Structure 1
Amino acid sequence: MPRVSASQDQDQILVRLGAAVRARRAQLGFSQEALADAAEIDRSHMGKIERGERNVTFLNIARIAKALQCKPSDLLLEAGL
């Protein structure tokens, strides 16, 4: 079984979290721009978060969760984390 590097593992975590944010956003019918505005995060940064290209601070996870009407732990659970 090939060993996964720590960097690959971290990247996968970010991708899974981004997918959970995107899925919940779509479920609620929000555009990416509307979510970014509600969470007070730049729209381009939100796109990078959803694609797993940015390491997200806990404060931003909390802002995103609030905008998505859930708890931060709900997003982490949906991401399998």
Structure 2
Amino acid sequence: MAKPKGQLENNIRTLRFHHNEMSQKALAEAVGVSRQTIVAIEAAKYSPSLELAFLIANVFETPLEEVFSYTPAPPKK
């Protein structure tokens, strides 16, 4: 039986805005992925690898915890 998944959230859109309104394309180029990957991550439809998450945090010069947060699923009863 599959375990319920938690929720990975991010502040990428806000961080892009505060970094001279950085485009999704510019962020994608900075970390070496497609713009569509950034779109999917921002929309919480795709969870990045740990390496990609760190690369994104490095672009914004901020700790990983300020870019991404994870809320675990409630335990099954």
CA RMSD of aligned residues (A): 2.0
* 1:1-45 CA-partner distances (Å, limit 9, x unpaired): xxxx924xx2xx23x22xx11111111120110111111121111
- Aligned-residue sequence identity (percent) comes to 21
Task: After TM superposition, list the pairs within 5 Å mapping 1:39-54 onto structure 2.
Answer: 39-54=31-46
1:73 is aligned to 65
Aligned amino acid, residue 4 of structure 2: A
Q: As a proportion of its length, which structure holds more strand? A: 2
Task: Quote the Cα distance in structure 1 between the aligned partners of 2:58 and 2:17.
Answer: 15
Q: What are structure 1's unaligned runs of at least 5 residues? A: none
Q: How many residues align?
A: 68
Aligned amino acid, residue 15 of structure 2: R
Task: Quote the Cα distance in structure 2 between the aligned partners of 1:53 and 1:38.
Answer: 21
1:27 is aligned to 18
Task: Quote the Cα distance in structure 2 between the aligned partners of 1:62 and 1:45.
Answer: 15
Structure 1 residue ranges, 4+ long, deviating more than 2 angstroms after superposition: none
TM-score (ref. length: structure 2): 0.73
Larger radius of gyration: 2
